[in-house]
Chain A
Amino acid sequence: MFEEASEVFDNMFKSSFPLTFIVFIPAVLILVSPLPAEAAHEFTVYRMQQYDLQGQPYGTRNAILNTEARTVEAEVLSRRCVVMRLADFSYDKYQKALRQSAGAVVIILPKNMSAMPQDIVQQFMELEPEMLATETVVPVYFALEDDELLSIYSQTLTSSSSQGSLSAAEVLLHTATANGFQMVTSGAQSKAVSDWVITSLEGRLAGVGGEDLPTIVVVAHYDSFGVAPWLSYGADSNGSGVSMLLELARLFSKLYTYKRTHAAYNLLFFVSGGGKFNYQGTKRWLEDNLDHTDSSLLQDNVAFVLCLDTLGSGDSIYLHVSKPPKEGTPQYALLKELETVVASQHPEARFSMVHKKINLADDMLAWEHERFGIRRLPAFTLSHLPSHRSARRSSIMDVRSVSPSSHHGAGEPPAGPHVDVSKLSRNTKVVAEALARVIYNLTEKGAPGDLQIFTEQMVQEEHLSAVVDWLTAQPRAAQLVDKDSSFVSTLEYHLGRYLKDVKRHYVKADKRDPEFVFYDQLKQTMNAYRVKPAIFDLLLAVCIAAYLGMMYLAIQNFAVLYSVVRRITQPKTKVH
């Protein structure tokens, strides 16, 4: 047959040249074409943080992954992708995977994170900063679970946990029936993003009466932080702070429109970016305003700077200071007014002052007011958290709401970070009342403690709730909020409705000695391919060889079948 075939091909070549092209070019093209991907399952994965802060690297360093999946129970983990569920996650397992030089780690998070039991949420929240602090070379990814992913996980679990405990025959059968999974990411290696701009916004309400009015600055940082940037929604920290700032802007702009209530204080509102990365936005803003400009509100007469950070739940309000305010200063007045307002109008809340000196030797500053304190501006931070080290400030568990099923008791609030709009609105009322009393000097004028300046309708809970919903609808990590992003422009528009002179302020890292470096490839598409081990191919080849052998024999002996049929049909013809 091959001689005939070659004859045919010879004729083909000699007779018609174009025909060869028609035959060969497609063949060549097909041979060299790349393989299209067809995965068992394709899903989005979010990478763990990767950034350098002040020269110190944090988080995972790698993004590419092309390894077989295993769970932690398997014996051999090196160069494999370890898949874990949040419910089974523990720091020991994570360390074990890293120690055995796993190729990657993928952590599967439940779709509704707020429905997880509280102890797991707490444990994970505490582990997040530890995971980031150890610089990991392997890529760590988070994926939101769906049915396909769960089935992949359970199949991997059964095959991982049964390794090494079966006889040879069982292992052989196992390889024939089991599915292995190869996890492949589609992106490139991560690299530093150059010229990333952190945007901050400022706006003001000018006071009435003269040139040299005292200024009150209200600051809140809008970015969020978590172990994975795309999953950090930062509802309480610091979505609550931003929504409170916007509400205060609205209230005071209302007051400042009428001559009778127009006070003799300038109000400067600053929504800063890069807050979770050691308050980069605030730092550069201060430098620009104090060092590089001739005249700025910050240079003249600053009464105090009030930073809002995490005020969305809980019944305590703490005023964090780096120096206890002296009597007779505006800061002292605010402190006293806050105490008065809480004591007389909101007795269910507890207010206290926390004094913490600025420690310049620390890697990261504690609260935002410390930036102002370093530049000798009187500042404090209001928060419902007693300590800046709380894990609630930088967790991906900080989401808008927690489902009722995870409450401990019937009426007890959930322990995970979240925003309770009623508490947020109460805190907003407290701050608004205290600020008003300071600005209008009400205590000196003899106003009683329980005089409410802002009635129920003024501080609108629905408005606060809507703003918090909008803030938590997208992840607001500093690496994700570009200066052209819709989030910044919406915020700018929102501020512009109430404040005058709304300006943007940009921060770019210094070229030679960058304070912060961000990396890309934070969100990837991962494919899970179903694979079979090599033994399976050999097994299949043996079976196919046996089948073909049988085929060969059958066809060779076709004549036997033919004669049988002939013998069966012959009596019929004889009858004819």
Chain B
Amino acid sequence: MTLFHFGNCFALAYFPYFITYKCSGLSEYNAFWRCVQAGATYLFVQLCKMLFLATFFPTWEGGAGVYDFVGEFMKATVDLADLLGLHLVMSRNAGKGEYKIMVAAMGWATAELVMSRFLPLWVGARGIEFDWKYIQMSFDSNISLVHYIAMAAVVWMFTRYDLPKSFRLPVTVLLTLCVYKAFLMELFIHVFMLGSWTVLLVKAVLTGVISLCTLFLFVTLVHSN
């Protein structure tokens, strides 16, 4: 159960990152150090967000079953800082659009994997007790990878000066969707009382839709010039 299960979950979580890094051609550009820098920016941005949340947002005093929609909405708004962070990373990297996006997204997503998933997996999946949530966590990290790539692409598109007017609206919509995806997921869980596997499915579908739209817009933008 113990270390083997941890190995399973770790492989499930980490291998797609590894494969993506290999196959996207980043290795030819010596992008490892830049990815690490992107990861460091992720850490910094998370720290700032936490400080901000702790300082300005009061603790929720209501009952256990009631969901504080407004409060959670405000908290999700703070996730705009993620976008700023991604923009910062991408602006510091010179190169083609795809290169920038991939570097930023890989670094960001890997940092998130290490910070928020590695420790629970190490501590929990190694224990005697078996729980499906570790496998679900690993799947979730795969979905996050796709999500961050889409988010980085949208941010990049948003900051392009040659973005056609007709694209402004869909890009903005996608941007807000990306930021509030977590909030939307919480809403779904609360309203529909979804089970954990269903939640994963919904998350995957949502991320898939977002990334597909982003892909369409990106291709149109890049190849319209």
Contact = CB atoms under 8 A, between A and B. Distances in A.
Interface string B89-126: 00000000000000000000000000000010011101
Contacts of B32: 1, 4-5, 8
B219 A565 contact: yes
Interface string B149-179: 0000000000000000000000000000000
B212 to A, nearest CB: 8
Nearest to A538: B4
Interface in B30-84: 30, 32-33, 36
B220 interface: yes
Nearest to A562: B219
A529 interface: yes
A551 B8 CA distance: 15
Contacts of B126: 35
Interface in B121-135: 122-124, 126-131, 135
Category for how many chain B residues contact A: 35 or more
A548 B138 CA distance: 12
> Secondary structure at chain A's binding surface: helix, strand, loop or mixed?
helix
Nearest to A2: B32
A555 B23 contact: yes
Contact of B128 (A531, A558, A561, A569): A531
Interface SS of chain B: helix
B129 A531 contact: yes
Nearest to B30: A4
Nearest to B215: A565
Interface stretch (A37-45, A142-150, A394-402): A37-45
A448 to B, nearest CB: 71
Interface in B1-50: 1, 4-5, 7-8, 11-12, 15-16, 19-24, 27, 30, 32-33, 36
Interface in B188-225: 215-216, 219-220, 223-224
A552 interface: yes
A541 interface: yes
B123 A35 contact: yes
Interface centre among B11, B24, B119, B219 (most CB of A within 10 A): B219
Nearest to B222: A566
B220 A38 contact: no
Interface residues of A, number: 40
Interface string A500-537: 00000000000000000000000000000111101001
B10 to A, nearest CB: 10
Given A1-B32, A531-B130, A532-B1, A569 B223 contact: yes
Interface in A531-576: 531-532, 534, 537, 540-541, 544, 547-548, 551-552, 555-556, 558, 561-562, 565-566, 568-570, 572-573, 576
A4 B33 contact: yes
Contacts of A558: 23
Nearest to A576: B224
A573 B123 contact: no
A548 B1 contact: no
A555 B224 contact: no
A36 interface: yes
B127 to A, nearest CB: 5
Nearest to B118: A30
Contact of A39 (B5, B16, B119, B129): B129
Nearest to B135: A540
A552 B119 CA distance: 26
A383 interface: no
Interface of B: 1, 4-5, 7-8, 11-12, 15-16, 19-24, 27, 30, 32-33, 36, 119, 122-124, 126-131, 135, 142, 215-216, 219-220, 223-224
23 contacts: A1-B22, A4-B33, A30-B119, A36-B127, A179-B130, A530-B130, A531-B1, A531-B128, A532-B130, A540-B135, A544-B8, A544-B12, A548-B12, A551-B19, A555-B16, A555-B19, A555-B20, A555-B23, A555-B24, A561-B215, A569-B220, A572-B220, A573-B224
